[in-house]
């Protein structure tokens, strides 16, 4: 019985010993440990630096078998247990700093406390940054700039389809979509110069999907719609322009003339009033409004506008008609 009890005690001791040791099937596992601190060149601790350890004297391969990478805490410190005896490669990485790689020896049963591994990470030199950039090739921003400059040159040469393709290529490389409306305006310009007004209008509307209140895009769209005879649609975009924005008065005049020809005198008067309010020195607007007043039998107002026309522009193309009307209205 005593013999059997002794064997049982030995067996339990073996089990306990096994339970306290890492997974021995891993060649890198053992009882050794490491610890250290990572700082920058000013002596400040670096948080979030990655430490990768691999057994052996070869360069550290993060894909090879080994303990999981660990990171430094806010004090720049790190520590790891369960390392096998012998040489280890250590790789320290942190974005914005040069990688630091070297060799360290692990002792499973050291004499005295384990000395910390203190590493200083350095910022890459300007030459190293430039070399890395050269190796990577032009950045997306540089590629976008090159495409847009190419597009501008093609547009100036009248190669409209090729210019549009280059503009679109530039947009795919631009991370900042705030620049897209300006490029869409350039594409719209290429369509307009090619005589494709409707395509130009559609392109400007795409720009407004990104920047709905962009005054430059709105102004161009208003002008193109008016030139295409789409005055009513132009008016909807005019209403979105910032207060005080100068709008081509021809748009309002065309809308008013159209309403006048359709016999809609109140609508025509409204348009001419708006044009005169914004452009009080525009002589022709007074003539058109006078015609509305005459049709509404408001002769006094008509006379005032006809006289205003002659005062502003005695040589107006409407001057003779204005004088004839004034003679009849006496």
Tokens representing residue 16 in the block: 């306990």
272 and 300 housed in the same domain: yes
How does the average pLDDT of the chain come out, rounded?
85
**pLDDT value at position 131?**
66
* Residue 129, in any domain of the structure: no
| Residue 38 main-chain phi, psi, to 5 deg | -115, 130
In the predicted model, what is the mean pLDDT of residues 134-149?
76
Q: What is the dihedral of CA 313, 261, 198, 157, to 10 degrees?
A: -30
d(C-alpha 20, C-alpha 24), whole Å: 11
Percent of the chain with pLDDT over 90: 58
Please determine, for residue 165, whether its predicted confidence score (pLDDT) is greater than 80: yes
* Residue 6, in any domain of the structure: no
Domain count, the chain: 3
256 and 227 housed in the same domain: no
In the predicted model, what is the mean pLDDT of residues 311-328?
93
The last residue of one of the domains, among 238, 269, 296, is 238
Q: Is 14 helix (H, G, I), strand (E, B) or coil?
A: helix
Of 223, 294, 305, which is closest to residue 265 (Cα–Cα)? Answer: 294
* Residue 110, in any domain of the structure: yes
- Tell me which residue has tokens 């993060």: 62
Tokens representing residue 168 in the block: 């679109």
253 and 325 housed in the same domain: yes
* Residue 86, in any domain of the structure: yes
Tokens representing residue 124 in the block: 């890459």
- How many residues does the structure list for the chain? 330
Range of the domain at 319: 248-330
The larger pLDDT score, comparing residue 1 to residue 237, is at 237
Residue 225 CB-density burial (10 A; 0-12 exposed, 13-18 middle, 19+ buried): buried
Count the neighbouring beta carbons within 10 Å of the beta carbon of residue 71. 13
- Tell me which residue has tokens 């250290």: 36
Q: Look up the pTM and report it.
A: 0.47
In the predicted model, what is the mean pLDDT of residues 26-43?
90
Annotate 276-296 with DSSP letters as a single string.
Answer: HHH-TT-HHHHHHHHHHHHHT
Tens digit of each residue's pLDDT (9 = 90 or more) over 245-273: 777 788 888 888 888 999 999 999 999 99
**pLDDT value at position 285?**
94
* Residue 2, in any domain of the structure: no
* Residue 31, in any domain of the structure: yes
For residue 106, the cross-strand partners are 86
Given a contact cutoff of 8 angstroms between Cβ atoms, the answer to whether 27 and 64 are in contact is no
Annotate 26-38 with DSSP letters as a single string.
Answer: STTEEEEEEEEEE
| Residue 33 main-chain phi, psi, to 5 deg | -145, 160
**pLDDT value at position 130?**
66
230 and 262 housed in the same domain: no
d(C-alpha 111, C-alpha 113), whole Å: 7
| pLDDT band per the 50, 70, 90 thresholds, residue 137 | low
The last residue of one of the domains, among 215, 238, 261, is 238
**pLDDT value at position 232?**
81
């Amino acid at each position: 019985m005593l013999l059997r009890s002794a064997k049982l005690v030995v067996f339990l001791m073996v089990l306990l010993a096994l339970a306290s040791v890492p997974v021995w099937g891993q060649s890198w596992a053992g009882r050794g440990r490491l610890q250290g601190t990572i700082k920058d060149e000013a002596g400040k601790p670096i948080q979030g630096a990655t430490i990768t350890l691999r057994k052996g004297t070869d360069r550290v391969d993060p894909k090879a078998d080994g303990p999981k990478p660990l990171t430094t805490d806010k004090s720049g410190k790190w520590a790891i247990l369960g390392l096998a005896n012998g040489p280890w490669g250590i790789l320290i990485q942190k974005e914005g700093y040069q990688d630091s790689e070297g060799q360290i020896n692990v002792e499973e049963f050291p004499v005295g406390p384990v000395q910390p591994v203190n590493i200083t990470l350095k910022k890459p030199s300007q030459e190293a940054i430039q070399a890395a950039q050269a190796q990577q090739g032009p950045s997306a921003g540089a590629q976008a700039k090159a495409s847009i400059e190419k597009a501008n040159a093609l547009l100036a040469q009248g190669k409209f389809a090729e210019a549009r393709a280059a503009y679109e290529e530039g947009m795919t490389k631009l991370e900042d979509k705030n620049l897209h409306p300006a490029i869409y305006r350039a594409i719209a310009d290429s369509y307009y110069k090619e005589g494709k007004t409707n395509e130009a209008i559609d392109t400007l509307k795409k720009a407004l999907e990104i920047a709905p209140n962009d005054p430059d895009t709105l102004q161009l769209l208003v002008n193109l719609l008016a030139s295409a005879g789409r005055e009513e649609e132009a008016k909807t975009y005019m209403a979105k322009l910032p207060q005080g924005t100068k709008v081509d008065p021809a748009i309002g005049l065309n809308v008013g003339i159209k309403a006048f020809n359709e016999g809609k005198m109140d609508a025509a008067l409204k348009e001419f009033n708006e044009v005169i309010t914004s452009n009080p020195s525009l002589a022709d607007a007074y003539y058109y409004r006078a015609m509305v007043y005459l049709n509404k039998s408001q002769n006094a107002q008509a006379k005032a506008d006809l006289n205003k026309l002659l005062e502003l522009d005695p040589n107006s193309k409407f001057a003779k008609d204005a004088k004839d009307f004034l003679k009849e209205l006496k």
